[in-house]
Structure 1
Amino acid sequence: MAFTQGHICARRRQRGISSVLFMLLSGLSLGAMVFGAIYYVRGLQSQSVTVHAQTQAQLKAWSGVEALRQHLYQLGATEAAKLSVNQVVTFSALSGISATVVDVLAADSVNCGGGTRVGFNITGSSGGANSLLAATFCAKGNGGTPGATGKVPAVNIKGNLQLGGDLKVQGDAQTKVVVDGTVNGSGSLTGISNLYATGDITLGGSVGFDLLFSEGNINLSGSALYSSVQSMKNVSLSGGVSVASLTANGTVTMSSNSVTALNSIGNVTTGSATIGTLKTKGSVVGSNLTVSGDAQVAGNYTESSNGSVGSGNYGGSLSTQTWNTKVNMTRVANLAVNITPLTSSTVTTPAFDAGPYKALANYVFEWDGSDIKVTVNNVNSIPNGIYFLEGSGQTRDYLCKTNSYNAATCLAKICSGYSTSNTCFAYDNAKKKWTIAGTTMAPGVLWFEGDVEAGSGTYYNTWIASGSINTAGTNSTYAVNYAGYANTCTNTAFPTLVPTNFCKASDTSKLQPVSAGNIAYGAGGLVGTVYKGGKINLSASNDVYGSVLAGDDLTTSGSTVVHGYVSAANLASIPTGSSLGASTSIDLRNLPSGFDPSNTAATSSAPMSATLLWSRYR
């Protein structure tokens, strides 16, 4: 077959198209290779960024672990036990870290050697990546001295409190009285600068406080002057009560009273009262009410008699007698009166259990059914062990190896009676009660099974009872840390009976404080799951140098001065409430070195530590 000239031209045109197609396909292939390479490089870069972000997130999570460990070290076991599950932890100085408490177990003897075990979920975040780490710590010892920062009130009462007589609280900013309950009082009460109650406060007579705060109602009568009265509910004033500053979330009712500055979210109702400045989100009903300064009333203002207002505004209506032109107020529609509502504070709940202190005591007194047995720990010249308390005539109050006095088997006399023929100790088995009366005892921590009556004498001891404690006669008790080196380590009445946990051979000039030594009296404890005892009654004449810790309620009468903190935990099944009466003083001034009335934890003698028990990624 022959090809014509036309055929040849067609073949030439097709050959050109093939070249173009070949070049196009080659270009597409090269483009695919280039874009594939770019995608691959970007993928590597993205993977690198992701790995870097994840690594940074993990590093932040581990930074959170160390920050929490250091924080628990500062808290110690006692404060760490107050953490609550689901509590959120903030890291003010560290970004990209958050944590939540997931587990808290105090006195964990299995994993934490009796300390507090705390578990956290910790999240580290960086560049969009998150790392979740579960970590569990063990906190031991007792960190910090909350009393030094004013966090521990001088008087801390759980349950209702009755005030009477002459009550004084002296010291610095720590002299706060906290009552988790109601407060009732009358008579002459002075010297309390700050009273906080979760329940109602009702006071009368010549009572005077700087600051009253109640989460409930406040009812004041008599002729007292108060610097500040704050109620999360309602306030009622009567008699000749005067208040410099009054704030209420609820209503205010007053008659024949004077208030310099009144702020009330609720209504204000008055008789012949005098107010300097008045602000309320409610309405005012007055009868001969004098507002000498400014009044800002969001609601209505009613004056039924000859009252007056210096200047002010109201948002509702104004009602006065037609002849009364002394209420100088202007209506402002939708008047907004700004008053910040009062909010409650966290109340530290007191507690006391004599049980853990038994292991820290120098002398443990128990009745075995026929004999008094004394367990001795850390006393110079007496080997640790169990002894009988025996003696007769001039050889009383001896620790003996047998249950009868024998000069060869009796080691030491531990108490001086009123005479050589008087014993210090008596035990009533039917009442499970110890009675101790003499001139003085060997210094150290005393622990009693049952109730105790501490009679007349001067004692350089810490008294702890699993039951209740009352005082009698003229009693002066110095908690061991308060007693100091001379009375504890070089006691002239008992020079050889040195409590070696307080008195170190390596330091012959300074007492080694132990937390239990800050307590003068501590009463009450758990028997199984039931709380027993816990009542402390300071009667007659008492000079107490140390803290008084009642597991149930506290009663003072006669003349009582306490140089230390006072608390009542209201742990009994049928609480009766506490009462501070007669002449009672709480004096936190001029406390000696080594005495820290805020530090009374039974575990705080152990060194502080915080360790990571285990961790895992989640």
Structure 2
Amino acid sequence: MTSMLRTRPASQRGIATILILLLTGLSLTAAVLGTVYYVRGTQEQGVSAHAMTQAQVKAWTGVEVVKTYLTNLDAAGIKTLAAATTSTPIALTLSGVDGVSAKVVSSDSATNPTRLTVQVTGSTATGTRAASTSTVQVVYAVVPGTTGGPANNPNTVNIKGDTTTGGAISATGSNAIFNVDGNFTSNGSMTGFKVIFATGNLNLNAAGNSAETVSAQGNVNITNSGSYNKVLAMGDIVASGKISVSVLMQSNKSVTISNSSDIQRIDAIGNVTLSSQANVVTVRSQGSVDGRGGNIGDLLAEGGYQGSWSGSATGSVGGTVSNGGNTTLKVTQQAGLKVPVAPLTLDSLQANKVDANELRDSANYIFEPDASNAMTVTVKSVSGITDGKYYLYQGKINNQPFYDWLCTVAQPSKAADCVVKIGRGNSDYNSLVSYNATQKKWTLTTSVSGAALPPGIAWFKGDVSFAGGTYINTMIATGNMSTGGNLFVYGVNAASFSDVCNNGNFPGLKPANFCAAGASKLTSVPLGNIGLLAGSYEAGYSDAAHFSGGTIALGAGNEIHGNIVAGDVLQTSGSTTIYGYVTTAHQSNDASHQNKFSASTTIRLDGLPDSFNPGLTPPGAGGSTGTGGSTSTQARVLWSRYL
């Protein structure tokens, strides 16, 4: 009998296959989705890590930016930041960097800060799904900068070597600075200067001196009356004259006031000694204070205090108090008292290089002897004269005067041998220029009015001596320069356009580098800022043994419009007015060569023409590079941590 429930295997095989395929497809789908999810999660983790890395990079970049920010602040700026607290932080304005912010949250002192705590945050661009921030807390050690000298260069007077002045020296105009790289003794009055600075000792011996700041790396000695904002010394300060100091007197050693004076504040690492007539509002000393009857409004000293029967003082000292019988003193002892006085630091002056030989090729007129000591003049860039080398003839041709003419031959026999007259002596029959081959010295002699030479840069090989006259020239000599009375020199940039480009004494002769075709305004050339320059090195050398000349000695009644640059020293002996800067380099290193200012010297920085920029000089022309006694704030990272 046939069973009714008998299976049919062939008919079930298709269904099984479908089920197997379905289950396999579901497994593969789950695996793919899992892989996609894993890959996507890994990618997001990478982006997040990348964002965090970028934020950290920006935060650490900000740490360096803040360090630079702090070094650009002065002491007052650092003190302003010291007022910050965690509840009232001070945000810093950081320019030139994106994604970085910083705020000062605390300091170690509100009055004399040496440490600042800053929170620096770096962040990636907002608005992205991977935006991130990173904050670093940094403690900076800071040493506030000083303002004992000029902050900008070049300086009005930059003197290398020991210097003595005997006459009155004054400056007109703003921000005049008098720097001496060496010892400076002023026996005459000094007025009109913002800063008077010496890298050695500074001695002010005349009455009536005034300056915003007088400062020295050595001692400061003031033996007569004067008025100053600040008196600063890395050595001792001794004031025996009656002086007024309206802001600060600070010394890395001791301060002694031995006359009636009015001083706002004294800071000293050493002792302080006052006369019975000295009035000081505030005294801060890490040594002892001898009041001697002086009056001190607010006193803090780590050492003791010695008073006398007169005078007054209020404050605290770490040592013993002796009232000298004066029971009205209000000075108390506070054992272990510490007084913060930051050591004063004053920068050295950098050397200036002066070398006339480096400037030869920039001259319009080059005066030098040939092998037979005949005078020659090489002309360059002068309208009206073909560039080239000429002989400077002094004499007659066919009984006609040809003095100071440029000629194509050394001994011209006819007028056609000569090109143009370039000098004006006392008359047509007197030469302006002469040369002494034995002394290697050029002498320029004239008493006529107006320009004695065609305007332009004039360069001389050897010494140059002026016997009066007016020159619309930048005058350069490889040797020494000396002048007589009634000399007027106008460096080309310091002269007017008409005097340079349309000079009536030399019609048609004009320096093309200063007088552009069709122009109505003088073209300023850096070397044209020089009035007088002297001194040179032998080719290939820059040491004292191979340096020659460099002394500029000015006579009475001189007016120099333009910078004076002496490769060695400057000496004045009469009434001198300088419209421009003064630089001496003392490249001889000879201790017997000293800068000396006698009678009166006036340095004028007012009313200068637009074409004259005394601070701009090319290499070899003694560009001033000194910093003259000011220092920038120093900052360094003590420690840091992530927040």
TM-score after normalising by structure 1: 0.74
1:483–1:418 Cα change, 3 Å: same
Cα distance in 1 between the residues matched to 2:56 and 2:393:
69
Match of 1:610 in 2: none
Judge conservation of contact 2:274–2:294 (CA < 8 Å) in 1.
Answer: no
1:602–1:265 Cα change, 3 Å: closer
Judge conservation of contact 1:283–1:301 (CA < 8 Å) in 2.
Answer: no
Matched, 1:94 2:97: yes
**Pairing 1:380-459 to 2, within 5 Å after superposition:** 380-393=383-396, 394-405=401-412, 406-438=414-446, 439=448, 440-459=452-471
Matched, 1:295 2:299: yes
Match of 1:486 in 2: 498
CA offset at residue 257 of structure 1? 3.7
Higher mean alpha-carbon deviation, 491-500 vs 305-314, is at 305-314
CA offset at residue 47 of structure 1? 7.2
Matched, 1:512 2:514: no
1:399–1:228 Cα change, 3 Å: same
CA offset at residue 553 of structure 1? 1.5
Deviations 1:126-166 (A, max 9, x none): 99xxxxxxxxxxxxxxxxxxxx9953211111222212211
Cα distance in 2 between the residues matched to 1:35 and 1:515:
76
1:57–1:408 Cα change, 3 Å: farther
CA offset at residue 473 of structure 1? 2.7
1:275 to 273, 279, 284: 279
Cα distance in 1 between the residues matched to 2:504 and 2:190:
41
Match of 1:600 in 2: 617
Cα distance in 2 between the residues matched to 1:572 and 1:232:
28
CA offset at residue 55 of structure 1? 12
Judge conservation of contact 1:307–1:327 (CA < 8 Å) in 2.
Answer: no
Cα distance in 2 between the residues matched to 1:325 and 1:518:
65
Aligned to 1:462, what secondary structure does the other structure show? strand
CA offset at residue 215 of structure 1? 1.9
CA offset at residue 427 of structure 1? 1.2
Matched, 1:324 2:334: no
**Pairing 1:352-367 to 2, within 5 Å after superposition:** 352-367=354-369
Matched, 1:537 2:553: yes
How many residues end up aligned between the 2 structures?
A: 500
1:27–1:572 Cα change, 3 Å: farther
CA offset at residue 226 of structure 1? 3.4
**Pairing 1:138-537 to 2, within 5 Å after superposition:** 151-173=153-175, 175-210=176-211, 211-244=213-246, 245-261=248-264, 262-286=266-290, 288-303=292-307, 305-321=308-324, 323-345=325-347, 347=349, 349-370=351-372, 371-393=374-396, 394-405=401-412, 406-438=414-446, 439=448, 440-507=452-519, 509-527=520-538, 528-530=540-542, 531-537=547-553
Match of 2:565 in 1: 549
CA offset at residue 333 of structure 1? 3.7
Judge conservation of contact 1:542–1:561 (CA < 8 Å) in 2.
Answer: yes
Cα distance in 2 between the residues matched to 1:450 and 1:46:
79
Matched, 1:586 2:603: yes
Cα distance in 2 between the residues matched to 1:428 and 1:49:
85
Aligned to 1:356, what secondary structure does the other structure show? helix
CA offset at residue 30 of structure 1? 9.0
Judge conservation of contact 1:428–1:434 (CA < 8 Å) in 2.
Answer: yes
Higher mean alpha-carbon deviation, 466-475 vs 360-369, is at 466-475
Match of 2:104 in 1: none
Aligned to 1:358, what secondary structure does the other structure show? helix
Judge conservation of contact 2:202–2:216 (CA < 8 Å) in 1.
Answer: yes
Cα distance in 2 between the residues matched to 1:180 and 1:390:
45
CA offset at residue 383 of structure 1? 0.5
Higher mean alpha-carbon deviation, 34-43 vs 49-58, is at 49-58
CA offset at residue 276 of structure 1? 2.3
Which amino acid is 1:302 matched to?
A: Q
Cα distance in 2 between the residues matched to 1:391 and 1:266:
69
Q: Pairwise CA RMSD of aligned residues?
A: 3.4
Judge conservation of contact 2:354–2:620 (CA < 8 Å) in 1.
Answer: no
5+ residue gaps, structure 1, are 1-24, 59-90, 98-124, 128-147, 605-618
Matched, 1:561 2:577: yes
CA offset at residue 499 of structure 1? 1.1
Judge conservation of contact 2:422–2:454 (CA < 8 Å) in 1.
Answer: yes
5+ residue gaps, structure 2, are 1-23, 58-93, 101-122, 126-149, 622-643
Aligned to 2:495, what secondary structure does the other structure show? helix
Judge conservation of contact 1:295–1:311 (CA < 8 Å) in 2.
Answer: yes
Cα distance in 2 between the residues matched to 1:53 and 1:450:
70
CA offset at residue 426 of structure 1? 1.5
TM-score after normalising by structure 2: 0.71
Cα distance in 2 between the residues matched to 1:464 and 1:126:
60
Aligned to 2:292, what secondary structure does the other structure show? coil
Judge conservation of contact 1:164–1:189 (CA < 8 Å) in 2.
Answer: no
Judge conservation of contact 2:465–2:483 (CA < 8 Å) in 1.
Answer: yes
Judge conservation of contact 2:494–2:612 (CA < 8 Å) in 1.
Answer: yes
Cα distance in 2 between the residues matched to 1:577 and 1:38:
86
1:338–1:282 Cα change, 3 Å: closer
Deviations 1:377-415 (A, max 9, x none): 111111001111013042111001111233102110101
Aligned to 1:487, what secondary structure does the other structure show? helix
Cα distance in 2 between the residues matched to 1:570 and 1:53:
59
Cα distance in 1 between the residues matched to 2:548 and 2:606:
33
Cα distance in 2 between the residues matched to 1:256 and 1:52:
69
Judge conservation of contact 1:391–1:404 (CA < 8 Å) in 2.
Answer: no
Judge conservation of contact 1:277–1:293 (CA < 8 Å) in 2.
Answer: yes
> In percent, how many aligned pairs have the same letter?
34
Aligned to 1:476, what secondary structure does the other structure show? strand
Cα distance in 2 between the residues matched to 1:217 and 1:246:
13
Aligned to 1:194, what secondary structure does the other structure show? strand
